[in-house]
Amino acid sequence: MNPSMNAREVLLQAAGRKLIDVDGEEETVSLQPPASPARITEIERELGFALPRELAELLRFSAGLDMLESVDLASVGPCPVEELLGQVVTLAGDGAGNFWMIELRPGLGTLGPVWFLCHDAPVLIQQSPDLCTFLADYLRFHAAPHDGPIAEVVHGAIARVRDQTDVPRAALLDSPDEVLRSFARGLEDGWFVRDLRRARTGDGMPIGRFGPRTPLARAGHEFVFAYGSRTRWQRAKTWFTGR
Protein backbone atom coordinates (compact mmCIF):
# COMPACT_ATOMS: atom_id res chain seq x y z
CA MET A 1 0.00 0.00 0.00
CA ASN A 2 1.20 3.50 -0.82
CA PRO A 3 1.72 5.15 2.61
CA SER A 4 0.13 8.36 1.33
CA MET A 5 -3.17 6.62 0.52
CA ASN A 6 -6.26 7.04 2.66
CA ALA A 7 -9.09 4.60 3.33
CA ARG A 8 -11.31 6.01 0.59
CA GLU A 9 -8.56 5.52 -1.99
CA VAL A 10 -8.01 1.93 -0.85
CA LEU A 11 -11.74 1.24 -1.26
CA LEU A 12 -11.78 2.87 -4.69
CA GLN A 13 -8.79 0.86 -5.92
CA ALA A 14 -10.34 -2.36 -4.62
CA ALA A 15 -13.46 -2.00 -6.79
CA GLY A 16 -13.33 -4.44 -9.67
CA ARG A 17 -10.28 -6.23 -8.34
CA LYS A 18 -10.24 -9.98 -8.96
CA LEU A 19 -9.12 -12.18 -6.08
CA ILE A 20 -8.51 -15.90 -5.74
CA ASP A 21 -9.87 -17.31 -2.48
CA VAL A 22 -8.26 -20.10 -0.45
CA ASP A 23 -10.33 -22.68 -2.36
CA GLY A 24 -9.03 -21.41 -5.70
CA GLU A 25 -12.28 -19.70 -6.63
CA GLU A 26 -12.18 -16.28 -8.27
CA GLU A 27 -14.16 -13.41 -6.81
CA THR A 28 -14.56 -9.82 -7.91
CA VAL A 29 -14.61 -7.06 -5.31
CA SER A 30 -17.29 -4.39 -5.60
CA LEU A 31 -18.12 -1.27 -3.64
CA GLN A 32 -21.23 -1.25 -1.51
CA PRO A 33 -23.59 1.68 -2.11
CA PRO A 34 -23.21 4.71 0.16
CA ALA A 35 -25.09 4.78 3.44
CA SER A 36 -28.07 7.11 3.19
CA PRO A 37 -28.25 10.24 5.36
CA ALA A 38 -31.12 8.56 7.22
CA ARG A 39 -28.95 5.51 7.95
CA ILE A 40 -26.08 7.67 9.23
CA THR A 41 -28.51 9.57 11.46
CA GLU A 42 -29.89 6.27 12.73
CA ILE A 43 -26.39 4.99 13.55
CA GLU A 44 -25.56 8.16 15.45
CA ARG A 45 -28.83 7.97 17.35
CA GLU A 46 -28.04 4.39 18.38
CA LEU A 47 -24.51 5.37 19.42
CA GLY A 48 -25.59 8.47 21.29
CA PHE A 49 -22.82 10.55 19.71
CA ALA A 50 -21.66 11.73 16.29
CA LEU A 51 -19.63 9.41 14.10
CA PRO A 52 -15.96 10.27 13.64
CA ARG A 53 -15.62 12.57 10.64
CA GLU A 54 -13.53 10.08 8.65
CA LEU A 55 -16.08 7.29 9.08
CA ALA A 56 -19.04 9.54 8.24
CA GLU A 57 -17.31 10.68 5.05
CA LEU A 58 -16.47 7.10 4.09
CA LEU A 59 -20.07 6.01 4.61
CA ARG A 60 -21.27 8.79 2.30
CA PHE A 61 -18.92 7.34 -0.32
CA SER A 62 -19.46 3.62 0.29
CA ALA A 63 -20.68 1.40 3.12
CA GLY A 64 -17.94 -1.15 2.47
CA LEU A 65 -16.75 -3.88 0.13
CA ASP A 66 -18.76 -6.79 -1.25
CA MET A 67 -16.59 -9.90 -1.52
CA LEU A 68 -16.56 -13.44 -0.15
CA GLU A 69 -15.96 -12.10 3.38
CA SER A 70 -17.32 -8.57 3.02
CA VAL A 71 -16.14 -5.42 4.78
CA ASP A 72 -19.03 -3.51 6.39
CA LEU A 73 -18.39 0.03 7.59
CA ALA A 74 -21.97 0.49 8.81
CA SER A 75 -22.16 -2.48 11.18
CA VAL A 76 -22.14 -0.52 14.42
CA GLY A 77 -23.11 -1.73 17.89
CA PRO A 78 -21.79 -2.80 21.30
CA CYS A 79 -18.75 -5.06 21.48
CA PRO A 80 -19.70 -8.68 22.31
CA VAL A 81 -17.20 -8.53 25.19
CA GLU A 82 -18.35 -5.28 26.77
CA GLU A 83 -15.58 -5.18 29.39
CA LEU A 84 -12.98 -4.74 26.63
CA LEU A 85 -14.36 -2.33 24.05
CA GLY A 86 -17.42 -0.12 24.00
CA GLN A 87 -19.28 0.67 20.79
CA VAL A 88 -17.57 -0.79 17.75
CA VAL A 89 -17.72 -1.05 13.98
CA THR A 90 -17.58 -4.77 13.22
CA LEU A 91 -15.64 -4.50 9.99
CA ALA A 92 -15.43 -8.13 8.89
CA GLY A 93 -15.55 -11.72 10.04
CA ASP A 94 -13.42 -14.73 9.22
CA GLY A 95 -16.38 -17.06 8.66
CA ALA A 96 -15.68 -18.90 11.92
CA GLY A 97 -17.28 -16.51 14.40
CA ASN A 98 -14.25 -14.25 14.88
CA PHE A 99 -14.27 -10.56 13.94
CA TRP A 100 -12.18 -7.48 13.23
CA MET A 101 -13.47 -4.29 14.85
CA ILE A 102 -12.74 -0.66 15.64
CA GLU A 103 -13.88 1.00 18.83
CA LEU A 104 -15.92 4.21 18.51
CA ARG A 105 -16.25 6.93 21.11
CA PRO A 106 -16.92 10.69 21.13
CA GLY A 107 -14.08 12.83 19.82
CA LEU A 108 -12.20 9.93 18.23
CA GLY A 109 -9.55 11.14 15.79
CA THR A 110 -7.91 8.16 14.09
CA LEU A 111 -10.08 5.23 13.04
CA GLY A 112 -8.05 2.63 14.83
CA PRO A 113 -6.52 0.52 16.09
CA VAL A 114 -8.31 -2.42 14.53
CA TRP A 115 -8.71 -5.37 16.91
CA PHE A 116 -9.22 -9.05 16.17
CA LEU A 117 -11.65 -10.61 18.65
CA CYS A 118 -11.36 -14.39 18.55
CA HIS A 119 -13.44 -16.94 20.46
CA ASP A 120 -11.32 -20.01 19.69
CA ALA A 121 -8.88 -19.44 21.29
CA PRO A 122 -10.44 -16.54 23.26
CA VAL A 123 -8.04 -13.66 22.65
CA LEU A 124 -8.06 -9.96 21.78
CA ILE A 125 -5.27 -9.05 19.36
CA GLN A 126 -4.26 -5.79 17.73
CA GLN A 127 -4.47 -6.25 13.97
CA SER A 128 -3.75 -2.85 12.42
CA PRO A 129 -2.93 0.66 13.63
CA ASP A 130 -5.75 2.21 11.58
CA LEU A 131 -8.60 1.46 9.18
CA CYS A 132 -6.65 2.30 6.03
CA THR A 133 -3.90 -0.21 6.87
CA PHE A 134 -6.47 -2.85 7.76
CA LEU A 135 -8.30 -2.51 4.44
CA ALA A 136 -5.08 -2.91 2.46
CA ASP A 137 -3.96 -5.88 4.57
CA TYR A 138 -7.39 -7.51 4.36
CA LEU A 139 -7.39 -7.35 0.58
CA ARG A 140 -3.85 -8.75 0.53
CA PHE A 141 -4.94 -11.67 2.71
CA HIS A 142 -7.80 -12.48 0.34
CA ALA A 143 -5.49 -12.60 -2.67
CA ALA A 144 -3.02 -15.39 -3.41
CA PRO A 145 -0.72 -16.24 -1.71
CA HIS A 146 -2.89 -15.08 1.25
CA ASP A 147 -0.05 -13.71 3.33
CA GLY A 148 0.72 -10.51 5.22
CA PRO A 149 -0.28 -9.15 8.65
CA ILE A 150 -3.74 -10.76 8.66
CA ALA A 151 -2.18 -14.17 8.06
CA GLU A 152 0.36 -13.49 10.80
CA VAL A 153 -2.44 -12.88 13.30
CA VAL A 154 -4.81 -15.70 12.38
CA HIS A 155 -2.09 -18.31 11.81
CA GLY A 156 0.42 -17.36 14.46
CA ALA A 157 -0.53 -14.77 17.05
CA ILE A 158 -3.67 -16.51 18.32
CA ALA A 159 -1.80 -19.46 19.82
CA ARG A 160 0.99 -17.27 21.17
CA VAL A 161 -1.35 -14.83 22.91
CA ARG A 162 -3.56 -17.66 24.21
CA ASP A 163 -0.66 -19.09 26.20
CA GLN A 164 0.87 -15.89 27.55
CA THR A 165 0.71 -14.80 31.18
CA ASP A 166 0.89 -11.08 31.82
CA VAL A 167 2.13 -8.82 34.60
CA PRO A 168 0.63 -9.53 38.07
CA ARG A 169 -1.16 -6.48 39.41
CA ALA A 170 1.04 -6.57 42.53
CA ALA A 171 4.08 -5.76 40.37
CA LEU A 172 2.43 -2.51 39.23
CA LEU A 173 1.25 -1.08 42.55
CA ASP A 174 4.20 1.34 42.62
CA SER A 175 4.61 1.77 38.88
CA PRO A 176 5.83 5.21 37.74
CA ASP A 177 3.14 5.03 35.08
CA GLU A 178 0.06 6.64 36.64
CA VAL A 179 -2.40 4.70 34.46
CA LEU A 180 -0.89 1.34 35.37
CA ARG A 181 -0.48 2.24 39.04
CA SER A 182 -4.05 3.46 39.48
CA PHE A 183 -5.49 0.56 37.52
CA ALA A 184 -3.52 -2.05 39.48
CA ARG A 185 -4.57 -0.54 42.80
CA GLY A 186 -8.21 -0.96 41.81
CA LEU A 187 -7.77 -4.68 41.13
CA GLU A 188 -7.55 -7.58 43.54
CA ASP A 189 -4.74 -10.09 43.93
CA GLY A 190 -4.86 -12.77 41.26
CA TRP A 191 -5.31 -10.29 38.42
CA PHE A 192 -2.90 -9.81 35.50
CA VAL A 193 -2.45 -6.63 33.47
CA ARG A 194 -1.68 -6.21 29.76
CA ASP A 195 -0.63 -2.78 28.49
CA LEU A 196 -1.55 -2.50 24.79
CA ARG A 197 -1.23 1.27 24.42
CA ARG A 198 1.79 0.85 22.16
CA ALA A 199 0.85 -2.54 20.78
CA ARG A 200 2.08 -3.81 17.44
CA THR A 201 0.36 -6.22 15.09
CA GLY A 202 0.04 -9.55 16.86
CA ASP A 203 0.17 -8.20 20.41
CA GLY A 204 -2.85 -9.03 22.53
CA MET A 205 -4.42 -10.46 25.66
CA PRO A 206 -5.77 -13.95 26.49
CA ILE A 207 -9.31 -13.05 27.48
CA GLY A 208 -10.09 -16.68 28.30
CA ARG A 209 -6.85 -17.42 30.17
CA PHE A 210 -8.78 -18.93 33.10
CA GLY A 211 -11.77 -20.36 31.29
CA PRO A 212 -14.86 -18.96 29.57
CA ARG A 213 -15.89 -16.80 32.55
CA THR A 214 -12.47 -15.22 33.08
CA PRO A 215 -13.18 -11.80 34.68
CA LEU A 216 -12.01 -8.86 32.57
CA ALA A 217 -11.41 -5.17 33.16
CA ARG A 218 -10.13 -2.08 31.38
CA ALA A 219 -8.48 1.14 32.54
CA GLY A 220 -11.09 3.65 31.35
CA HIS A 221 -10.58 4.47 27.67
CA GLU A 222 -6.94 3.40 27.75
CA PHE A 223 -5.93 0.25 25.91
CA VAL A 224 -4.80 -1.27 29.21
CA PHE A 225 -6.65 -4.45 30.10
CA ALA A 226 -6.65 -7.05 32.86
CA TYR A 227 -7.95 -10.53 33.54
CA GLY A 228 -8.50 -12.30 36.83
CA SER A 229 -7.57 -15.84 37.79
CA ARG A 230 -10.15 -18.46 38.69
CA THR A 231 -9.76 -21.63 40.74
CA ARG A 232 -10.16 -25.07 39.23
CA TRP A 233 -13.42 -25.40 41.15
CA GLN A 234 -14.75 -22.17 39.63
CA ARG A 235 -13.78 -23.31 36.14
CA ALA A 236 -15.34 -26.73 36.69
CA LYS A 237 -18.54 -25.09 37.91
CA THR A 238 -18.70 -23.00 34.73
CA TRP A 239 -18.15 -26.12 32.63
CA PHE A 240 -21.18 -27.83 34.19
CA THR A 241 -23.51 -24.88 34.83
CA GLY A 242 -22.41 -22.18 32.39
CA ARG A 243 -22.01 -19.71 35.29
* pLDDT tens for each residue of 163-214: 998 999 999 999 999 999 999 999 999 999 999 999 999 999 999 999 888 9
- As a whole number of angstroms, the distance between CA 157 and CA 170 comes to 27
Note whether 66 and 84 are within 8 A (CB).
Answer: no
Packing angle between helix 53-61 and helix 7-14, nearest 10 degrees?
20
Both 126 and 48 in one domain: the answer is yes
2 lies in some domain: no
Residue 104 pairs in a beta bridge with 87
79 lies in some domain: yes
Both 30 and 111 in one domain: the answer is yes
Domain of residue 172, residue span: 167-241
Both 118 and 193 in one domain: the answer is no
Last residue of a domain, which of 136, 162, 188? Answer: 162
Query: Which of 112, 44, 124 minimizes the C-alpha distance to 81?
Result: 124
Note whether 188 and 228 are within 8 A (CB).
Answer: yes
Q: What is the pTM of this model?
A: 0.92
Both 90 and 183 in one domain: the answer is no
Both 110 and 221 in one domain: the answer is no
The Cα-based distances of 164 to 145, 159, 218 in angstroms read: 29, 9, 18
Number of structural domains (the chain) is: 2
Give residue-wise pLDDT tens across range 13-47.
999 999 887 778 888 999 999 999 999 999 999 99
